[in-house]
Structure 1
Amino acid sequence: MKEVKLVPFTYKNEKQIAVKFGYDDSIRIHLKKLLDIKWSNSNKTFYIKYSSENKIKVYKHLRAINCLIDYSELKTVLPNITKTQSFKLPKLNEHQTTDLQRFKKWLQQKRLSENTVNTYVEVTSFFIRYAALKNTLNYSKRLIESFNYDFIVQLNKSISYQNQCINGIKKFLDYKGVEVEALELERPRKEKKLPVVLNIEELKQIFDQTHNIKHKTLLSLIYSAGLRIGEAINLKVKDIDSKRMLIHIRGAKGKKDRYTLLSEMFLDLLRIYYKQYKPKVYLFEGQGGEQYSSSSAQSVLKSAVSKAGLKKQVTLHTLRHSFATHLLENGTDIRYIQELLGHSSPKTTMIYTHVSETSIRKIKNPFDNL
């Protein structure tokens, strides 16, 4: 894992957070995608204004590329940080490090996504160190259950993270040739929460508060085409088919291609954006023609939601949920919605029937018969 240190320092008479790391192009390029990050020639470091929000923002941004972050000098506790220090886990030895690198290559050969690979490798690293702490090489069901309790349950990790841990460990055992099914590892059931959905007026308020044409175009695209943020920032100029009024989504979740709708009103906005920014490869590009970052997009949305005074917990995925729900309320067959969203199972799409106002309004309230 690449090591990065977050250090407080004063620059231009203001308290800043310096991001220190050894020369690494991948970290440098990734950092440049972060909104509000700057480079100081005199200090030879990236930096950002010191604030609780920025501490979390920088941490999450660097964790996305699997960096090991030392934030001890900030004298703070950041959320979602695995408290491995509680267990005083031993460091990986040379053999374990080599084995972990081979495991990563093995996962990559399975053509898993980069995020999934990084997550599985990180979890496995903790599991190997936990086994070393327990002085055992016997990766038994009992050891995994003990790791699960100490590392996940005791630290109140989410069910989603617990499932990722179990998936990662199972992949590692498979890589090591251990009979996984015989261990009978069970994943906890996820909470079934209904998605947050915005109404049309709330969407208008968000778009009205987004004045930068690139930002408005990106948010409008996610809603009008029902895209995941990864799909939106991966889009290339050539993927827009204005003659057929379709958008070609390539290699989406599950490594599937699909087509989704190209709105006429959105196309007008897109043409204005294109004339102003003239993107070369990716439809949305950051500084230097690099791919736009999801964290920047989330910051844009958060700012617009705040300015609009909305109280709902809105994320970029909320725009996709809203697209699907509004299609359903307008009478679109749920099988078409499934295709547009790229869901492999209709069960996933059916969740929108639970949040559709049209469906709920059709129900006659028995109180009205009294």
Structure 2
Amino acid sequence: MENTQPLFDQKYFTPEAATHNGKNIIWIRFSKDYTLVKILKSATKAHWSNTQKSWYVTDNSANRELFGLDKKIVGKEVLLKIHPNNLAAFQTYQNQLLLKGFSQNTLRVYSLEFAQLLYILRSFPVHKLTREKLKSYFLYCHQELKLSENQIHSRMNAVKFYFEKVLHQDKIFFDIPRPKKPQLLPKALNTTEIVKLLKVTENPKHKLILQLCYGMGLRVSEIVNIKIEHIDSKTMKVLIAQGKGKKDRYVNLPHSILADLRFYYKAYLPKIFLFEGQFGGKFAIRSAQSVFKIAMNKAGIKKSVGIHSLRHSYATHLLELGTDISLIQKLLGHNDIRTTLNYTHVADRTVASVKLP
């Protein structure tokens, strides 16, 4: 998991996860000091408890990161649905995921997918499942739950991890067939639509988020993780630290964005992350997605795409400009060149230029 420096130094602030009035909260203990109170209130939506004589904030991922607490993989509501017979197996499963060092998103997805199987099993011990029972379960996912091919693949990967990496039953999935995944092409915006999108976005912070997502071909998780120290305006490079697959890479900072970047920095004065939330910490992924959706509506663009389409647009437009495919692969951080080659199917240079007989 990614280790991020907490915004609140634990030498001064001591966080403690707890419940208060039926809600999950984090107590924030510190010495009686008005300056510390001011710092806390300026960066978080903190509340005062008269009964406990202490400040507290809501227990969520953003606040856990602010105060340096470990993020919860799944909530208590998931554990309550699992029969006691399988709780130990679920905990062992999560421990193995943690030891593997998977990303927070992978930890959550795998845990939730594995939990779906445990819900169905009720009191039947998961470690006693046979190959035939597993086949029946995945058939149930297909026929009764009507899960998509991608959803079934995700669930199979999660369950496979338990039997192969926890129980070390390497051959149990040997003849369990997987559904064929649909081959979907990346959805991109054209250059005219990109211009319209940026023109209707007046907020400097929101506009810069969209500019950098497109101008550097970033995933939304990467844009919110950029720290000020990662930007080098002299070499015009930006370090994308611990991107997908926990890989570092450098991308080019577009010269056309430099003036907007400097204006934004002077206006907003971010402390650690380039884009920070209302109460400190990094800007939420959902907020960035909302920025894109609002801009799409304002621009009157009817395409059914998300903020990730800006990354697709970046790659497609580079290819149309004649950039070598191996360079695009490096800039996007793809492990496999075949992933990058998908853009050749949508680039105008390779499709529209073909002369029809």
> TM-score, normalised to structure 1's length?
0.74
For the residue of structure 2 that corresponds to 1:290, the secondary structure is coil
Is residue 221 of structure 2 the alignment partner of residue 230 of structure 1? yes
The 5 A counterparts of 1:13-24 are 22-24=23-25
For structure 2, list consecutive stretches of 5 or more residues without a partner in the other structure: 1-20, 28-44, 49-55, 59-71
What amino acid is the match of 1:24?
Answer: I
Q: In 1, distance between residues paired with 2:73 and 2:96? A: 18
Is the 2:85–2:124 contact (alpha carbons within 8 Å) kept by the matching residues of 1?
A: no
Contact in 1 for aligned 2:47/2:57 (Cα 8 Å): yes
CA contact (8 A) 2:110 2:155 kept: yes
Give 1:215 deviation, angstroms.
Answer: 0.5
2:164 to 174, 180, 183: 174
Q: Distance in 2 between matches of 1:137 and 1:99?
A: 8
The answer on whether the counterparts of 2:228 and 2:273 sit within 8 Å (CA) in structure 1 is: yes
Change beyond 3 A, Cα 1:282–1:136: closer
Flag the 1:234–1:21 CA change in 2: closer, same or farther, 3 A: farther
Look up the SS of the partner of 1:204 in the other structure: helix
Contact 2:85 2:125 in 1 (8 A): no
Match of 2:119 among 129, 137, 154: 129
Does the Cα contact within 8 Å between 1:140 and 1:183 map onto a contact in 2? no
How far 1:21 moved relative to its partner? 6.0
The corresponding residue for 1:219 is: 210
Summarize the Cα distance change of 1:324–1:233 in structure 2 as closer, same or farther, 3 Å threshold: same
Q: Deviations over 1:226-245 (max 9, x none)?
A: 00001111110011111111
Q: How many correspondences in the alignment?
A: 300
Aligned counterparts of 1:339 and 1:136: Cα–Cα separation in 2: 42
Counterpart residue identity of residue 115, structure 1: N
Matched, 1:138 2:128: yes
Residue in 1 aligned with 2:235?
A: 244
Preserved contact between residue 226 and residue 320 of structure 1 (Cα < 8 Å): yes
Residue correspondence of structure 1 range 36-51 to structure 2 within 5 A: none
Structure 2 match to 1:336 = 327
* Letter in structure 2 aligned against 1:274: Y
1:159 and 2:149 matched: yes
Alpha-carbon spacing, 1:95–1:133, altered in 2? closer, same or farther (3 Å): closer
8 Å Cα contact 2:83/2:123 also seen in 1: no
- For residue 209 of structure 1, the aligned residue among 182, 200, 211 is 200
CA gap of 1:362–1:21, structure 2 versus 1, over 3 A, is: farther
Contact 1:247 1:260 in 2 (8 A): yes
- 2:298 is aligned to 307
Greater mean alpha carbon deviation, residues 170-179 or residues 229-238: 170-179
Name the CA shift for 1:39/1:210 in 2 (closer, same or farther; >3 Å). Answer: farther
Report what 1:31 is aligned to. Answer: none
The answer on whether the counterparts of 1:305 and 1:314 sit within 8 Å (CA) in structure 2 is no
Equivalent of residue 86 in structure 2, options 96, 110, 135: 96
TM-superposed CA distance for 1:39, in Å, is 10
Identity, % of aligned pairs?
A: 36
Letter in 2 for 1:180: D
Distance 1:275 1:311 in 2: 35
Return closer, same or farther for 1:25/1:210 CA change in 2, 3 Å cut-off: farther
Does residue 111 (structure 1) correspond to residue 112 (structure 2)? The answer is: no
Q: Which runs of 5+ in 1 are unaligned?
A: 1-19, 27-37, 47-63, 71-89
- In structure 2, C-alpha distance between the alignment counterparts of 1:192 and 1:67, rounded to whole Å: 34
Residue identity matched to 1:270: L
For 2:286, the equivalent position in structure 1 comes to 295
Instruction: For 2:163, give the aligned amino acid.
Output: L
Aligned partner of 1:15 in structure 2 is none
Listed as ranges, the matches of 1:2-21 within 5 Å are none
Q: State how far apart, in whole Å, the 2-side matches of 1:268 and 1:187 are.
A: 50
Letter in 2 for 1:294: I
Aligned residues of 1:131 and 1:137 also touching (Cα < 8 A) = no
- Contact preservation (8 Å) 2:160, 2:173: no
Higher mean alpha-carbon deviation, 230-239 vs 150-159, is at 150-159
In the other structure, the counterpart of 1:322 is 313
> 1 CA distance for matches of 2:240 and 2:146?
37
| Alignment partners' CA distance in 2, 1:293 and 1:196 | 23
Q: CA RMSD in A?
A: 2.8
Distance 1:322 1:136, change over 3 A: closer
Matched-pair contact (CA < 8 Å) for 2:216–2:254? yes
Structure 2: how far apart are the matches of 1:305 and 1:211? 13
